[in-house]
Amino acid sequence: MWRDTTEMAQAVREKKVSSKELVTEAIEKIERLNPQLNAVVSKQYEQALEKAEMGDFSGKLFGGVPILLKDLGQQQVGELATSGSRLFANNRSRITDNYVKKLEELGFVILGRTNTPEFGFKNISDSSLHGAVNLPADTSRNAGGSSGGAAAAVSSGMVPLAAASDGGGSIRIPASFNGLIGLKPSRGRVPVGPTSFRGWQGASSQFAITKSVRDTRNLLYGMQVCQLESPFPHPLLNSTNSRQPLKIAYSLESPIGSQVSDHARNAVLSLLPILEKLGHHVSELTHQPIDGLAAMRSYYIMNSVETAQMFDEIEAGFGRTMTPDDMELMTWAIFRSGQKIPAKVYSKVLQDWDNYSAQMWNFHRQYDLLLTPTVNGPAPRHGQFALSSELKDRLLNMDDYSMMEQQDLIWEMFADSLAWTPFTQSANLTGQPAISLPTYETDQGLPLGVQFTAAKGGENLLLQLASDLEDRGLLK
């Protein structure tokens, strides 16, 4: 019935529908669809209905519109916050994050939380606490991660927009698998804090998965801040309707040297004549702007150190040492690998990230946008990235290995899943905005997105191009 969230909010403002009617409709859809999809893992219907009936939504951009939060890093005081972890199965937030406060200020009515892998480490959602998220288009496949529940909720029609986050592609990957729009904003664009200000050293950003470009644009302009107390303050975007020819570089190569599928190549190649017809200048890259293999190695080192630090706080809170029984094997391996990384190695990683950011800034002096596949194939089948028994044994005994051997094991642990999604992580390291757009489907009718990346602060270019493609009916 509703085209998107923007249309819903307009209908509430014009009193064509009440917020309570919208919330009731969304609850009915969740209750009907969720048993098959497993997208929503906690519900706060009573509070939502009360707010919908009693709340004052006048003058609010998304007043009265229902939304789902992600069950990771989007805390709301008094509500469950499990991070997909058995350790926190009954944990309730003591604070409300600034990101969530901003959503509430915009008038959204929160219905509950969506499924995510444990601590968001995977590009699929299959936590041992909540189980796997099924792709609505084919339930034998996973909806992706780490914002898999959010994507499944939107693509199934539970809600037209769901809160999400992206630390290595976690918005763009499930958006691609589900045929949706997934924007990762520039680092510092969206509110952070009040407890965590540099998630994964700035690699992680909060935003949303949407069905329409105007929802993406309106939410971005509504959410953006110049947050001077944060480590990465960013100038505010100015609204613009200008249309200009863009210089677009495209790449059909994997940044880590892995094989690129025909589907992924075709997703990009099929778009090139359309871009040229729109007046843009398109050319193929002859070499990668940054060293993708080295960048990915640095990403895993960051992940190891940040996880080790996180578990220092967890152990202090629980008053005991963590064991493999407390967490999934992947989490254990990452946690333990962080124990042997010297400070000087981590300092070098962060220095490298700054250099990658500078290299990409110089790249964008020549090109407005970089076009790649978002992912290397459609949504994976459940169990597609299962680890061998021999690798599991080594991961369980992670403490027996040297730092370099541990990092090699981390690489091996992620090898198959990374080869499926090698294109998204660099924008997290460099802080650039990147968007996945649903322009392609396989011969089985499964979505496969393309990714455009802009220079830091360049969201308007991404939205301009996305809007042009949408207006011409080119988004699937």
Active site residue 70: yes
Q: Are 34 and 158 in contact (CB under 8 A)?
A: yes
Residue 421's nearest CA partner among 190, 216, 124, 188 is: 124
Contacts of residue 369, defined as CB under 8 A and 6 or more positions apart, other chains included, come to 246, 247, 248, 249, 452, 453, 454, 458, 461, 462, 465
Question: Is 146 annotated as catalytic?
Answer: yes
Task: Kindly provide the b/e burial profile for residues 370-407, where b requires at least 16 CB atoms within 10 angstroms of the residue's own CB.
Answer: bbbbbbbbbbbebeebebeeebeebbeebeebebeebb
Among 20, 70, 122, 184, the active-site one is: 70
Please tell me the distance from the alpha carbon of residue 251 to that of residue 241, in angstroms, as a whole number: 28
Q: Are strands 447-454 and 369-373 parallel, antiparallel or unpaired?
A: antiparallel
Buried b (16+ CB within 10 A) or exposed e, 240-278: eeeeeebebbbbbbbbbebebbebbeebbeebbeebeeb
Kindly name the residue from 19, 83, 146, 426 that is annotated as catalytic. 146
Is the torsion defined by CA of 351, 352, 353, 357 positive or negative?
positive
Selected catalytic residue, list 127, 155, 170, 251:
170
Residue 141 pairs in a beta bridge with 381
Biggest alpha carbon distance in the chain? 65
Question: For residue 410, which phi and psi values (nearest 5 degrees)?
Answer: -60, -45
C-beta neighbour count of 47 within 10 angstroms: 16
Catalytic positions, please?
Answer: 70, 146, 170
